[in-house]
Amino acid sequence: MSDPGVRRIGIAGLGTVGGGLLQLFQRAEPLGGGRLKVVAVSARNRSRKREVDISGYEWFDDPVALAASPDVDIFVELIGGSDGPAKRAVEVALSRGADVVTANKALLAEHGAELAALAEKHGARIGFEAAVAGGIPIIKALRDGLAGGNRVSAVSGILNGTCNYLLTEMETSGRSFEEVLADAQRLGYAEADPTMDVGGFDAGHKIALLSAIAFAAAPDFSSVDVEGVDQVTLLDIRMAGKLGYRIKLIAKAERIDETVRAHVHPVLLALDHPLAVVGGALNAVVVDAEPVGRLSFVGRGAGAGPTASAVAADLLDIIDGAARAPFGKPVGSLKNYTSAARAEEGRFYVRFLVKDKPGVIAAIADQLAKAGVSIESFLQDPAQGGSDVPIVLTTQRCPRSALDAAVRQIGALDVIAAPPRVMPIEETRSANRAWS
């Protein structure tokens, strides 16, 4: 007979996060103070040598069978992936009314509404604090701490530690993206296949979840406009620095009239922007809301300790009866108003690489003037571009469509040596409409 005062946990996935969680259960003062007990585990390879002792738990080769086990009250999914065994196992657990805790942003960003509906139907709860910004309790802050009285206008952040590490290393060491990435892979800071991180998709999954909670919307990753850091060059980092900006990969969700726009882009931040000073592998989130004002959160977004800390908080909320609806409201009242439309207006950084010939600057200025785009500052630095000369300008506030049209015209001129690069400049103060 099981003790009715003890909730039995099954953990699928014993890697970085699962291993970190088991360590919390194996401390002298174990997690949950006797009210939580790990009874079963699953991973791909039973004979793999692990840093934690798993001999005291029932072993399942198949995570779906673990999720189906009547001996498990709370199923903890730490495998990863938006589909496959993680999704099947979570569905099986929820369908029989077992609570689920997961760190899987891909799964929830792509299937969050259907899983939340399944949980509602069967009276189960879903916790996913670890899925966004690791140890920073941003989901709880948005869903519980700001609930009721506040209207959020924007949530933005540095949500991928790998990208932030790469950009910081490029700036401080003066090495190229490829060199820094190769080093990060050798040191284990970046995956062998870095696409999810450097392509911006991981940050896109996370902002889809924050957007859903902040704006009571169904999570919709397909509506997130995603661009990664793989096209950010050392030249752009240096030229932006000379103009008083730092390039960061920013994920942002903002309320604009009756829609929510969610996007991930490399962005120029003025050095006094709260996100500009967040370096290395750290994560950060800035929330703009009324009446509370601007809130900033900074911390470790990955790794065994921070992520296990977030999973632990979800487990305690479940046993304390404090877990709320996954996206703050019942699924039926979540809105579907996320749009991938780009920002209509903003200030922008534009970089050209030109052949060193007379009349180039006049040709660029002429096209921009014809499009009604006013130049705010201008920088030419022959020392930076090799045989070609970089010309960088920042625009005054202008329609993005007008700028894009002018840049297309300029890019077709035979004095232009490489495709021009446009990046938005984030205003430090304004919460909205600064970038796309």
Ligand X SMILES: NC(=O)c1ccc[n+]([C@@H]2O[C@H](COP(=O)([O-])OP(=O)(O)OC[C@H]3O[C@@H](n4cnc5c(N)ncnc54)[C@H](OP(=O)(O)O)[C@@H]3O)[C@@H](O)[C@H]2O)c1
**Residues binding ligand X (CB under 6 A):** 12-18, 42-45, 48, 63, 78-80, 85, 103-105, 130-131, 134, 302-303, 307
Q: Cα–Cα distances in Å, from 373 out to 224, 392, 401, 407?
A: 27, 14, 10, 10
Say which of 206, 248, 252, 329 is annotated catalytic.
Answer: 206
DSSP state of 341: P
Calpha distance 116→64 (Å, rounded):
18
> Which lies closer to ligand X via its Cβ, residue 15 or residue 137?
15
Compute the least distance from the CB of residue 182 to ligand X, in Å. 21
Closest CA to 65 of 41, 100, 36: 41
Nearer residue to ligand X within complex by CB, 78 or 163: 78
Q: How is residue 67 written in tokens?
A: 């999720």
**Which of residues 84 and 372 has its CB atom nearest to ligand X in the complex?**
84
- How far from 63 is each of 16, 79, 328, CA to CA, in Å? 17, 9, 28
Tokens (6 digits) for 75? 């199923």
Q: At what angle do helices 201-215 and 105-122 cross, to 10 degrees?
A: 40
* Residue whose CB is nearest to ligand X in the complex, by number: 15
Q: Which is nearer to ligand X, 128 or 349 (CB)?
A: 128
Query: Could you tell me the two tokens for 283?
Result: 């994560």
Could you give phi then psi for residue 376, rounded to 5 degrees?
-95, -50
Q: How far is the CB of 81 from ligand X (least distance, A)?
A: 7
Report the 10 Å Cβ neighbour count for 334: 24
The DSSP call for residue 415 is T
**DSSP structure class, residue 328:** S
Q: Which is nearer to ligand X, 129 or 426 (CB)?
A: 129
Say how many residues make up the chain.
436
User: What is the closest distance, in whole angstroms, from the C-beta atom of residue 21 to ligand X in the complex?
Assistant: 9
Exposure b/e, 27-52, CB count within 10 A at least 16 = b: eeeebbeeebbbbbbbbeeeeeebee
Is 242 labeled as catalytic in the residue annotation?
no
The nearest distance, CB 405 to ligand X, in angstroms, is 39
Helical H runs in 11-104? 16-25, 63-68, 84-95
Q: Report the nearest approach of ligand X to the CB of residue 171 (Å).
A: 23
Taking the least distance from each CB to ligand X, the nearer of 43 and 350 is: 43
Q: Which residues are catalytic?
A: 206
